């Protein structure tokens, strides 16, 4: 049974008729990813327009039909007709001064169309994408991969716990904007059965999820700093137990565009002159640099960011303990507030203060009790001393009288 995908296509021009072609619909059914379909829906009509202007083919179905017929031809010029069209299409994009990455994206769309219809185009290494002539803009690299100091400043200038949590999720966990936007509260064990926040202080939260784009498992951790911002954010929303983790002020899912706009607004505040260079996806690159600084192996890097591991190794599972231990080393290069957020540290100090106050109160109560007992002992000792003094006085007086009587008798006897 085929799935019926409901995809909201947002294009800069009206929806092209070629997207209604059966071969395009079959192509989209096999992809199954809404965001990828949205991108292809915008890019494929450009290829179709080129085909119509340079060949006699008018529909996507005709492209596939001619491709099938040509594959059995012994004349290589005929057999590789569509490979040649693809190269000409690439050169036409180059003449339009389109950026290198954009050209690559258009070519991947073309290749995907043929591949998913089971008639893939075949090129030797470097024959297609590898031979793209970079534009003048591409010859001077202006990539901005944010450093830890850059992110620290962005963190300080973020106005809300939500924006700080998004920033740290992207930077300290390596999630893409798509996967971050699709996170749900029920995906994480934030609360106990009674709805109380149960995560411990100064502990990172292991998480494993299939990436939205590739369905490849991504194993990483949400940092203790990020968890604190998430706790503050969820507290302001009344600690909900379900729904999207990041929402707009209308309590609706904050999509990729919303995440990008939120991050860009912080960048504009912190680095107004560099805001045009900002790309939110580079926070994921910054996370990869943290893994590199921690000397994490390439295989484990793939696990952390959800890339396909190579060879037989991809069949072996990686344990939670392995990810958490490697993450602790990586986090040293990604922390924005030492090893815990300021609010978390304040909470720790408050806890320690409360505990110390309680212990001091117990000590004072114990000393008060002991003092009362000591006073009672003093009263008893005082009474005993008074009794002894009184008793001693009586005995002394009687002895003195007896002594004086003996003296008197002796005096009378000698007289």
Q: How many other C-beta atoms can be found within 10 angstroms of the C-beta atom of residue 218?
A: 22
Do residues 69 and 135 share a domain?
yes
Residues 7-27: pLDDT tens digits? 444 444 556 889 999 999 999
Same domain, yes or no: 162 and 224: yes
Q: How far apart are CA 244 and CA 254, in angstroms?
A: 8
What are the structure tokens assigned to 295, written together? 């000397």
The answer as to whether 222 is a domain residue is yes
The mean pLDDT of 178-199, rounded to a whole number, is: 90
The most confident of 138-142, 155-159, 371-375, 393-397, by mean pLDDT = 155-159
Domain that holds residue 308: 148-340
Higher pLDDT: 153 or 313? It is: 153
Closest CA to 280 of 253, 306, 262: 262
Number of domains in the chain: 2
Q: What is the DSSP letter of 264?
A: H
Torsion from C-alpha of 124, 127, 130, 132, nearest 10 degrees: -170
Domain match, 281 and 155 both = yes
Whole-number average pLDDT of the chain: 85
What residues contact residue 63 under an 8 Å CB cut-off, 6+ apart?
23, 51, 57, 82, 113
Indicate if 257 and 313 belong to the same structural domain: yes
Q: Kindly tell me if the per-residue pLDDT of 77 is higher than 60.
A: yes
Helix ranges (H only) for 306-341 are: 320-331
252 and 124 in one domain?
Answer: no
Does residue 160 sit in the same domain as residue 238?
yes
How high is the pLDDT of residue 310? Answer: 74
Distance between CA 30 and CA 26 in Å, rounded?
A: 6
Burial class (CB in 10 A: 0-12, 13-18, 19+), 371: exposed
Let me know whether 110 and 214 are in one domain.
no
Beta bridge partners of 277: none
Residue 414: left if φ>0, alpha if ψ -120 to 50, beta else—which one?
alpha
CA-CA distance, 223 to 204, in Å (whole number)?
5
Q: What are phi and psi of 160, to 5 degrees?
A: -125, 155
Check whether 4 has a pLDDT greater than 70.
Answer: no
DSSP string, 22-77: HHHHHHHHHH--HHHHHHHHHHHHHHHHHHHHHSS--SHHHHHHHHHHHHT-S-HH
Whether 361 is in a domain gets the answer no
Residue 356 lies in a domain: no
Residue listed under structure tokens 């749900």: 184
Indicate if 213 and 286 belong to the same structural domain. yes
pLDDT at residue 286 in the model? 96
What would the pLDDT profile of 355-367 be if each residue is shown by its tens digit? 788 788 888 888 8
Q: Would you give the DSSP letter of residue 130?
A: G
The residue out of 296, 318, 340 marking a domain boundary is 340
Task: Give a yes or no: residue 109 inside a domain.
Answer: yes
User: What CATH number is given to the structural domain containing 162?
Assistant: 1.10.443.10
The pLDDT of residue 340 is above 80: no
Query: Using one digit for the tens of pLDDT, what is the confidence trace for 50-69?
Result: 999 999 999 999 999 999 99
Q: Does 275 share its domain with 305?
A: yes
Give the pair of three-digit tokens for residue 329: 């080393």
Instruction: Examine the fold and report which residue of 306, 340, 374 is the final residue of a domain before the chain moves on.
Output: 340
How far, in Å, CA of 356 to CA of 251, rounded? 41
Q: Is the domain of 155 the same as that of 269? A: yes
pLDDT over 90 at 130, yes or no? no
Instruction: Supply the DSSP symbol for 202.
Output: T
Using alpha carbons, list the distances in angstroms from residue 132 to 51, 88, 114, 176, 231: 19, 11, 20, 27, 48
Last residue of a domain, one of 106, 139, 172: 139
User: What is the arithmetic mean of pLDDT over 363-377?
Assistant: 83
Which band of pLDDT confidence, cut at 50, 70 and 90, is reported for residue 142? low
Please report whether residue 226 resides in a domain.
Answer: yes
pLDDT of residue 5: 44
Residue 127's Cβ-side half-sphere holds a number of Cα atoms within 13 Å equal to 10
Q: Are residues 58 and 157 in the same domain?
A: no
Pull the structure tokens for residue 284: 């994921």
Instruction: Categorize the per-residue pLDDT at 346 as very low, low, confident or very high, splitting at 50, 70 and 90.
Output: low
Does 226 share its domain with 91?
A: no
Residue 60 located in a structural domain? yes
pLDDT of 345 = 55
Token code pair at residue 71: 């594959």
Give yes or no for residue 173 having a pLDDT over 80: yes
pLDDT of residue 316: 82
The reply to whether 381 falls in a domain is no
Of 3-7, 101-105, 124-128, 250-254, the range with the lowest mean pLDDT is: 3-7
* Rounded Cα distance, 240 and 59, in Å: 50
Quick one: what percent of the chain has pLDDT higher than 90?
56
Residue 410 lies in a domain: no
Closest to 175 measured CA to CA, from 143, 211, 151, 149: 211
Distance CA 377, CA 237 (A): 60
**294-337, pLDDT tens digit by residue?**
999 999 999 999 988 876 566 688 999 999 999 999 999 999 98
Residue 1 has pLDDT above 60, yes or no: no
């Amino acid at each position: 049974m085929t799935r019926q995908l409901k995809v909201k296509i947002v294009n800069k021009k009206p929806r092209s008729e070629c997207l209604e072609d059966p071969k395009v619909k079959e192509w989209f059914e096999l992809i199954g990813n809404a965001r990828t379909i949205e991108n292809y829906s915008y890019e494929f009509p450009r290829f179709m327009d080129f085909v119509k202007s340079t060949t006699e083919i008018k529909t996507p179905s005709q492209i596939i039909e001619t491709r099938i017929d040509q594959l059995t031809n012994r004349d290589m010029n005929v057999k590789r007709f569509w490979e040649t069209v693809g190269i000409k299409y690439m050169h036409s994009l180059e003449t339009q001064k389109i950026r290198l990455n954009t050209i690559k994206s258009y070519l991947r769309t073309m290749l995907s169309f043929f591949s998913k219809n089971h008639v893939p185009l075949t090129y030797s290494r470097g024959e297609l994408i590898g031979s793209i002539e970079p534009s003048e803009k591409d010859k001077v690299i202006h990539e901005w991969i944010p450093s830890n100091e850059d992110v620290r400043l962005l963190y300080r200038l973020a106005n809300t716990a939500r924006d700080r949590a998004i920033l740290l999720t992207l930077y300290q966990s390596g999630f893409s904007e798509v996967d971050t936007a699709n996170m749900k509260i029920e995906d994480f064990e934030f609360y106990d059965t009674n709805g109380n926040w149960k995560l411990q202080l100064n502990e990172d939260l292991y998480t494993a999820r299939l990436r939205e784009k590739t369905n490849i498992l991504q194993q990483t951790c949400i940092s203790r700093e990020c968890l604190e911002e998430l706790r503050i954010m969820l507290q302001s929303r009344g600690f909900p137990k379900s729904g999207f983790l990041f929402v707009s002020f209308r309590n609706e899912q904050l999509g990729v565009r919303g995440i990008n706009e939120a991050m860009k607004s912080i960048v504009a505040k912190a680095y107004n002159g560099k805001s045009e260079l900002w790309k939110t996806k580079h926070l994921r690159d910054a996370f990869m640099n943290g893994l590199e600084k921690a000397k994490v192996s390439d295989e484990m890097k793939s696990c952390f960011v959800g890339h396909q591991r190579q060879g037989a190794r991809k069949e072996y599972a990686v344990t939670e303990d392995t990810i958490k231990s490697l993450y602790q080393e990586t986090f040293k290069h990604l922390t924005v507030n030492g090893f815990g957020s300021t609010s978390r540290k304040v909470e720790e100090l408050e806890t320690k203060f409360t505990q110390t106050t309680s212990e001091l109160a117990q000590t004072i109560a114990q000393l008060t009790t002991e003092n009362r007992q000591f006073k009672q002992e003093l009263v008893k000792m005082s009474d005993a001393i008074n009794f002894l003094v009184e008793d001693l006085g009586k005995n002394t007086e009687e002895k003195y009288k007896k002594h004086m009587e003996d003296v008197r008798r002796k005096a009378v006897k000698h007289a």
